Amino acid sequence: MNQRYILIILLIMVSVFFAGGQSKYPKDYFRSPVSFPITLAGSFGEIRRNHFHSGIDIRTEGVQGKAVYAIADGYVSRVNVSPGGFGKALYINHPNGFLSLYGHLNRYAGAIAAYVKTQQYRQESFAIDMEVPQGALKVKKGDLIAYSGNSGASGGPHLHFEIRDARTQEIIDPLDFGFMNPSGISPDINWLKIYPFDENALVNNTTNPALIQVSGAGGNHSLKLTDSIRVSGNVIFGIETFAIALGGMKTGVHNITLSVDGVNVFSQNIDRFAFAETRYVNSLMDYACFLKTGKKIQRSYVAPNNKLNVYSDLKNRGVVNFTDSKKHRIRYLVRDVFGKSSELSFWVVSHPPSVRQVHPKPESANLKLMSYKTDNQFEQPGVKFDLPKDALYDDLGFEYSVSAPVRGSYAGVHHLHNEYTPVHSFCTLSIKTDNLPKNLTSKAVIVSVGTGNSFSSHGGTFENGWITTKIRDFGDYTVTVDTDPPVIRPVNITPNKNIKKQSSILVKISDNLTGIKSYRGTLNGKWILMDFDEKNHLLTYLFDEMMKPGKNTFVLRVTDAVGNSAHYEAVLIR
């Protein structure tokens, strides 16, 4: 009797859990990380080049210094300080199995600030990334832990905020935990794109994709097109869609479902993902369209080597075959984090494919068939290119050509396929140098060639006339040298200046090609903590106990990635 009673209770609990999904994540366990209403400057799962946005960006009214609070009891588990990335970031583990992250901070508060500064002086490094021993920095819900800022690779003052599964490190949409109220606005659908999938497929009687504008509001959308859309053969679909958050920010949607004649053929749900998966966003979206136009078309198609774990209801990976002479109803249903939905419904007219003679290009010096399933090696005079297994999302007819050297280069310009095809993994590129003086071999690097023959360094090592490096994008590459030292430009100091009325030393540092590798500032021969704002090229030393009354000798040495260095020295009087 007792066992039957326990079983009934368990069944009731399970049914309550699954009814409406209301217990998936706790809605009242966490408080807000800020003391003002949250509006967004960036959303979870937002489609970006090379990654999904991994949290929410909370607006801070365009200023730095807003108080940031612990969202629940826990302990600081990691501190990361970097000139780029999240800048000053803080990680807190909570007893309920979740982790909160606070990024782009201006500064830490209280015991956390003291701990971080101690570690920086111990390591003699501004940049640190360290796990904090459990219990060393305990926090209570509502404790002041930091102040919002603009550090790292931030485009303006805001707080980057994440919640993760502490066990798996998967990132979860913070809005699933009740941090914001619904906007009440249904998602927008702005564009539809229909793609012929293979050589015998047609859209509107051509082999070109059709990009069609969408109109509508209040959850109902339609095509800005009166003519019928004709399709034939294997076709895939895609849409650009946004949810609308409080404050009017366009945010990422959670769910996109595509059905044909009432049957689901594709569904994706982005409410959590792993960091190892994030670069697969380049396969989810129309990568070339994004680079060319900025439109974020999400394709309802799963490439053979797209390993994102967000898909369901797949029929033939989302490829739809049209071979009859009928009309077919296509329906998109889009939902945001709050369950608000929008629909786009339209008809296409199918017609049987006309089989055309398609002659595949022969494999030659200009075209090599590469498989995503295997390692691929490509070699021509002056270039070697190794593309590892799983670096591609699908098989590729790899195209190659070479053109004459450009000004300042020591090799021809090697054109590796095209920049509009994404690459998932790092690949090895080696280029043979031409007429490179022996005294410059240590300064040589592989560079990508951009508009106006501009160079972007990818580093490299020299051996037996070849430069070798790792790249993660197709494009145009050659070899050049970096012989220019970094530039040091003091902002608020000069030799023998009386600095009694100021509280900091500000210095701009920059490098024209290979980038700053290291810098070291000292006062009277001892290392000092200089905050590096990489995007603004600014070093800041806030006066502390290292700055003594009287004369102080300030020395700064900056080194770039190939060993060129610059030196600045000044006596400062306090």
- Average pLDDT taken over every residue of the chain: 92
CA–CA separation, 488 vs 510, rounded Å? 7
The pLDDT of residue 183: 77
56: domain CATH number is 2.70.70.10
For 256-265, write each residue's pLDDT tens digit. 999 999 999 9
Q: Are residues 213 and 312 in the same domain?
A: yes
Residue 358 inside a domain? The answer is no
Pick from 517, 505, 493, 515: which is nearest to 546 by CA? 505
Residue 359 resides in a domain = no
Q: Looking at residue 14, what DSSP letter applies? A: H
- pLDDT of 18 strictly over 60: no
Q: What is the DSSP secondary structure assignment for residue 30, as one 8-state letter?
A: P
pLDDT tens by residue, 269-280: 999 999 999 999
pLDDT at 250 over 50: yes
Share of the chain above pLDDT 90, in %: 86
Q: What is the largest CA-CA distance in the chain?
A: 91
Give yes or no for a contact between 443 and 489, defined as CB atoms under 8 angstroms apart.
Answer: no
DSSP letter at 149 equals B
Q: The domain containing residue 501 runs over which residues? A: 487-573
3-state helix, strand, coil in the chain (%, to 5): 10, 45, 45
CATH number of the domain residue 557 falls in = 2.60.40.1220
288 and 303 housed in the same domain = yes
Instruction: Flag whether 373 is in a domain.
Output: yes
Which residue, among 475, 468, 427, has the nearest Cα to 451 in the 3D structure? 475
> Is 229 inside any structural domain?
yes
Beta carbons of 505 and 554 less than 8 angstroms apart: yes
| Tokens 């490096």, located at residue | 469
What domain count does the chain have? 4
Q: In 3D, which of 425, 409, 405 has the Cα closest to residue 471?
A: 425
> Would 32 be classed as within a structural domain?
no
Residue 23 lies in a domain: no
Does residue 316 register a pLDDT over 80?
yes
Same domain flag for 396 and 448: yes
Residues 84 and 148 in one domain: yes
pLDDT digits 0-9 by tens, 412-452: 999 999 999 999 999 999 999 999 999 999 999 999 999 99
Single out the residue of 112, 94, 103 nearest to residue 60, CA to CA.
103
Whole-number Å distance between alpha carbons of 546 and 553: 11
The first and second tokens of residue 502, run together, are 């100021």
| Same domain, residue pair 476 and 563 | no
- Domain co-membership, 268 together with 385: no
Tell me the CA distances in angstroms from 300 to 257, 266, 294, one per residue in order.
8, 6, 18
Q: What angle do CA 26, 30, 35 make, to 5 degrees?
A: 145
pLDDT single digits (tens) 554-565: 999 999 999 999
Could you give the C-alpha distances from 15 to 28, 182, 339, in angstroms and in order? 21, 26, 20
Q: What is the pLDDT of residues 525-538, one digit of tens each?
A: 999 999 999 999 99
Residues 501 and 434 occupy one common structural domain:
no
Q: The tokens of 80 are what?
A: 């990361």
For tokens 């803080």, name the residue: 90
Contact 415, 487 (CB under 8 A): no
